[in-house]
Amino acid sequence: MATRQAFTDSDTADEAVRATCDDASMCKRFATSKGYWKDPYIQYFVRQVGERKAPEINRGYYARVQGMNHLLDAFLRKTACDCQVINFGAGLDTTFWRLKDENLLPKKYFEVDFPMVVARKIHNIKTKPPLSKPIIETHSSDSLLIDGHSLDSDRYCIIGADLRELPSLDEKLKKFQLNPELPTLLLSECVLVYMTPEQSSRLVHWAAETFHTAMFVNYEQVNMTDRFGQVMIENLQRRQCNLAGVEVCCSLESQKERFLKTGWESANALDMAAVYSVLPQDDMARIERLEFLDEKELLQQLLQHYSICWAFKDKLKLGLSQVAF
Ligand SMILES: C[S@@+](CC[C@H](N)C(=O)[O-])C[C@H]1O[C@@H](n2cnc3c(N)ncnc32)[C@H](O)[C@@H]1O
């Protein structure tokens, strides 16, 4: 009886975590509909623009997407795209298509998410030619491996796996030709916070052990010990969504420490208020004209509660320390 209860609880918890990918995509869909940035592909994953989001939410998403893209693109340029990218907990992310359009595709772009999320993503790809065509165009043979829980092509691979189960994750990535010798960028955008500190540390450690030249970029909450953080935690808990890893989100120091304790050479972290202030000023002026922002303080508070942390190890001496803001 006790075992059955435990199974049911953890299943409900995982379901709530999986649902967060819809929240992220709906917010991105709304912000792109307002013109914050361009994403011609997100409409194929989220059909409706959906209900209005407050201007501070849209600006927060703008900073999140621009911040992550900035480090991703800098890594791709540094390696001249002779590298691979793994996006952990990618959800319905559309970065593969952006990179293809911008001629910035790495040798192979991998995504991992729960099998149920991956199944939905693959269904959308299969049924929407604007999504499937770029994958077929970058694939050399006639046969493409697609089943319910994985898609494998020459340049793009989607894997259904639980990031907390490392032996199985490692086996699946290697089965789909992950190359430990290639410089590798690992991305996690609002993902590690749903795992316990031990589980996320093990994942980050696995990455440090597997690749000699790599960068890990993690976006998630920070400064969560104050009242604002407490309200965020309670709001999510009300939806059965537990921030199991919130302990690591105390400060920029605790974010960096996770990497420094698990085999990474160096780690940096900025809160999103700092990132916001260093994003290209001309585009910033453009987006700040899109919607009137009444709640300037609220935006500032929101930005101070998210961060980007990036860590690297650079055996090939590519100059990864220069990949920064
Ligand atoms: C908030 S969403 C973010 C999605 C995407 N990274 C973005 O920013 O648009 C979190 C994602 O992480 C995935 N995720 C969380 N824990 C995971 C785990 N243990 N294994 C696989 N995926 C996980 C969820 O299914 C969900 O798609």
ipTM score assigned to the predicted complex: 0.99
Cβ–ligand 1 distance for 160 under 6 Å, the answer: no
Cβ–ligand 1 distance for 93 under 6 Å, the answer: yes
Q: Is 314 annotated as a binding residue?
A: no
CA 258/CA 287 separation, integer angstroms: 34
Query: Does the model's pTM come out above 0.90?
Result: yes
The residue count for the chain: 325
With contact defined as beta carbons under 8 Å apart, do 176 and 157 qualify?
A: yes
With contact defined as beta carbons under 8 Å apart, do 125 and 156 qualify?
A: no
Structure tokens given for 184: 């590798």
SS3 of 311, please?
strand
CA 211/CA 189 separation, integer angstroms: 20
For each of the chain's 325 residues, which pLDDT tens digit applies?
344 444 456 788 899 999 999 999 999 999 999 999 999 999 999 999 999 999 999 999 999 999 999 999 999 999 999 999 999 999 999 999 999 999 999 999 999 999 999 999 999 999 999 999 999 999 998 778 898 899 999 999 999 999 999 999 999 999 999 999 999 999 999 999 999 999 999 999 999 999 999 999 999 999 999 999 999 999 999 988 999 999 999 999 999 999 999 999 999 999 999 999 999 999 999 999 999 998 899 999 999 999 999 999 999 999 999 999 9
In sequence order, what are the residues at sequence separation of 6 or more whose Cβ sits closer than 8 angstroms to the Cβ of residue 283? 66
Q: Is 258 annotated as a binding residue?
A: no
CA 224/CA 201 separation, integer angstroms: 19
Q: Name the CA radius of gyration of the chain, rounded.
A: 19
The residue whose CA is least distant from atom 3 of ligand 1 is 21
| Pocket probe mutation, ligand 1, options 194, 242, 272, max atoms within 8 Å of Cβ | 194
With contact defined as beta carbons under 8 Å apart, do 110 and 87 qualify?
A: yes
Q: Cite the beta strand spans of the chain per DSSP E.
A: 84-88, 108-113, 145-147, 150-152, 156-160, 184-189, 213-221, 266-271, 306-314
Ligand 1 centroid to Cα of residue 193, in Å, is 10
